[in-house]
Chain A
Amino acid sequence: MSEATVLARTRAFVNETFLYMRPGFALADTDRLLQRGVIDSMGVMELIAFLRSEFGVVVADEDITETNLGTLADIARYVSAHSNGNGAKP
């Protein structure tokens, strides 16, 4: 799955889940989700559940890092690399 597709779907999820009450909020692909207050510790769990249900990507505990999931662009890169056909984990 292409990074662009993952990024678009993840952005839609983030908007629908975390930003629907902040319609004017501008979120760049490289904005840090935690630092900008988009997601919090509970939000991380929701995000991980989404990646599993939407892309079939089970994020291993050791992969739940800022490097992999810190921004929309990081998420797109990580999911694209781990989704089916790209070495996805079962």
Chain B
Amino acid sequence: MCGLAGVARREPRRGGVSVEMLDRMAAALRHRGPDGSGRYADARVGLAHVRLSIIDVAGGAQPLGNEDGSVLIVYNGEVYNYLEMRAELIAAGHQFRTRCDTEVLVHAYEQWGTAMLERLNGQFAFAIYDRRKSQVFLARDRFGVRPLFYSCSGGDLWFASEAKALFASGEVEAALDPIGLDQVFTFWAARPPRTVFRDVASLEPGCYAIWQDGTLRQGRYYELDYPEAREEANDALPTLDGLLDSSVALRLRSDVPVGGYLSGGLDSSISCALAARGSPFSLRTFSITFDDPQLDEGEFQQLVARELQSCHYIRAIGPHDVASVFPDVVRHAETPLVRTAPAPMYLLARLAREHDIKVVLTGEGSDELFLGYDLFKETALRQFCLRQPGSQVRPRLFDRLYPYLDPRGRRGDFWRRSFLEAGSPDDPLFSHLPRFLLTSRIKEFYSADLRAAIGEHDALGELRDNLPSRFTTWSALNRAAYLEMVTLLSPYLLSSQGDRMSLAHGVEARYPFLDTRVFEFAARLPTSSKLRGLKEKAILRRWARDVVPPAVQQRPKQPYRAPDVPAFFTAAPPEYVAEVLDEANLARTGLFEPAAVSGLVRRCRAGTALGFRESQALVAIISTELWQRYFLGEGVEAALPAGSQS
């Protein structure tokens, strides 16, 4: 895994693109690629690259060119079917100098142009510079595993794996986009192409962009679709078996040992079990445990590790650990957060790296593909109840949701009504309205100036207006799955909690469930194969019977959570906590209402802020203040209405 950066000038410059600027951009990405770096510059285009060597460790330095150097690439990621594509390209007459997948992309571009994207199975972001056409071609994988940011101004283009490299150019300003911030406090992340930085865009998953003569045009090569079958095919289980086997086998292609993240849940246990079978190396597995027994899954991790006979490493995490790394977490995530959950992932990646592992398999994607989250059950139940509004019995099923929230199960009709009144089934966002509305309660802490800067923008309305045309043809559960993929998986789980946390320590995460073939298999299944009654991931559990221990195979989904309020209100919290929550600081930065935040702090100190509503607000406020401190300094005022900072 690596980091890439570059610039393309509308007009050639005497002396060419500044190599010093390229070096600054590369330096900002050094954590993504500590094993080497390279750059290319001509009068118009500059490319920079930092490398994490995984395949063809000795070769594969970038930028890498074709036979005559007319096509150059900087690339971050893995194309898992590169050996098959390489054979096809050799048969078509291409000559290879290295064994690495990077060179396959160069020749694939020569052979098929942008249509090459449809052939790639992997997680990638790249920039290809076609010197003959003076054209830069940017692309990103289907599900948004690898990031790619860009900014355009005056016909010039800057691009990079992380926004901080754009700012390191000295030519792209770091400034707040209030609407991007409002999206974070609706969906947990800004929705690509928007980011929390003004004039910095994120290339959407499944999309490409071509810059030529100062103009950037974009296209989409992959759209999520759910062509749901009426019945499960007779060969569904053997098909799933073959796909997961193949997906894991492809993701074990590496010249360095591959490890596994092991949460103790079904998905990571499956990917580790298949990796243990297929890896030529003795598998090393990595887990985090929590002091808080409500969050901890250590027992199941140990069970799986014993079964797999893996070399198992554990990082125990207490509230103080979360708070101590949180500023670094925000700096790497480059966005305000509403959960502390990325912090343990940051520490987990560090643990893997300390044990010389720079590639890990991990289970993300399965819950979205096979309807694992409680949100899907909630959607099904809300629909079920609304079909018979007078039923007194049906709403009682809500009591079986979210068992971890209230072990006493004391909820009653009032709790049930809150679900039934959360939105109409006719609303395209029906499934996600409870979460979006709960998250939006963070906005109650906005300052008047921030409200004014956001103006009439309606985050939910904008999402409704941008749904794909096929959305209405999908079932309610598939609509929910789609919304989960585009609003949470890609911009938050794979980014803030995924790519950014693992590559903060030079660790590449690979996702067997996010193989295109596995996604398309799952999307074709009847939803009843995935959510059967209130049993989530039904087909996956059936398949996993002989793969993981029975206790894990039958175990209900436990959401991954990390300490939030307690992390920042320990006996001796880090100094920054009081600094960023101080009323004078809040008045100066101007994003949140100081008196309201003081009310929240008072309740946190008293131990009475117990629910998501307040814990997410606390995390949001602390992370936003850290984010603005790191990226904007005093620059936040520029995004707010004139004269608002008095």
Contact = CB atoms under 8 A, between A and B. Distances in A.
Interface in B415-438: 415, 417-419, 421, 434, 437-438
Interface in A38-69: 40-46, 48, 59, 61-66, 69
Interface of B: 405-406, 409-415, 417-419, 421, 434, 437-438, 441, 444-445, 593, 595-596, 599-600, 603, 608, 610-613, 617
A35 interface: yes
A41 B412 contact: no
A44 B419 CA distance: 12
A44 B610 contact: no
Given A42-B611, A42-B613, A46-B610, A66 B595 contact: no
Given A21-B599, A61-B412, A64-B410, A43 B611 contact: yes
Contact of A21 (B405, B411, B417, B593): B593
8 contacts: A20-B600, A40-B418, A41-B419, A42-B613, A43-B611, A59-B410, A64-B410, A69-B414
A55 to B, nearest CB: 16
A23 interface: yes
B410 A23 contact: no
A56 B596 CA distance: 30
Contacts of B608: 17
Given A22-B444, A23-B595, A48-B410, A34 B421 contact: yes
Nearest to A70: B414
Instruction: Kindly name the residue among A40, A43, A46, A62 whose own CB sees the greatest number of chain B CB atoms within 10 A.
Output: A40
Interface residues of A, number: 26
Given A41-B419, A42-B611, A66 B413 contact: yes
Nearest to A63: B412
Nearest to A41: B418
- Dominant secondary structure of chain B at its interface with chain A: helix
B417 A34 contact: yes
A16 B613 CA distance: 14
Contacts of B595: 23
Which of B412, B596, B610 is the most central at the interface, judged by chain A CB atoms within 10 Å of its CB?
B412
Contacts of A20: 596, 599-600, 603
Given A21-B445, A61-B411, A45 B417 contact: no
A64 B415 contact: yes
B596 A64 contact: no
B411 A34 contact: no
Given A20-B599, A62-B413, 13 more contacts: A21-B599, A42-B613, A44-B418, A45-B410, A45-B611, A46-B610, A59-B410, A61-B410, A61-B412, A63-B412, A64-B411, A64-B415, A65-B414
Given A21-B444, A21-B445, A35-B421, A44 B411 contact: yes
A17 B414 CA distance: 18
A48 B411 CA distance: 9
B414 A21 contact: no
A46 B438 CA distance: 15
Most buried by B among A42, A59, A65, A66: A42
Nearest to B444: A21
Contacts of A63: 412
B593 A45 contact: no
Contacts of B438: 40, 42
